[in-house]
Amino acid sequence: MAAARGRALRRQRVINPQLQAQDLAVHAALEPAAKSLLERSAEKLGWSARSFHRVLRVARNVADLGGADVIAPAHGAEAI
C-alpha cells in the first residue's frame, strides 16, 4: 500500500483522492477498453460527473496497487 501511495506522489505530487477533476485526464490515463467500460457503466447507472470522477480516482488507486501505469479494464471493473 505504501508503494502505491509513493507511485501516486511521484507521478502527481498528491495522493489519488486529492486529484482535481481537471488533473484526472493527465494522471488517470485509461486503456481504450477501460474508458469504454467506465463510460458505459456511467450511462447505464446514471452517474453524475462527480461520481464518474470518484470511480476514476478509485481505479487509479487500484492500478497503482497493481503497479500499472495505465488503468486497465480490470482496474475499472474493480473500482465500479
Q: In angstroms, rounded to a whole number, what is the distance separating the alpha carbons of residues 35 and 31?
A: 6
Walk me through the domains of the chain, giving residue ranges and CATH numbers: 2-79 (1.10.8)
Q: Closest Cα partner for 60 from 78, 47, 45? A: 78
Q: Band the pLDDT of 50: cuts 50, 70, 90.
A: very high
- Work out the average pLDDT over 14-35: 95
Mean pLDDT for the chain overall: 96
pLDDT in tens, 14-24: 999 999 999 99
pTM of the predicted model, to two decimals?
0.93
> Is 25 buried (19+), middle (13-18) or exposed (0-12) by CB count in 10 A?
exposed
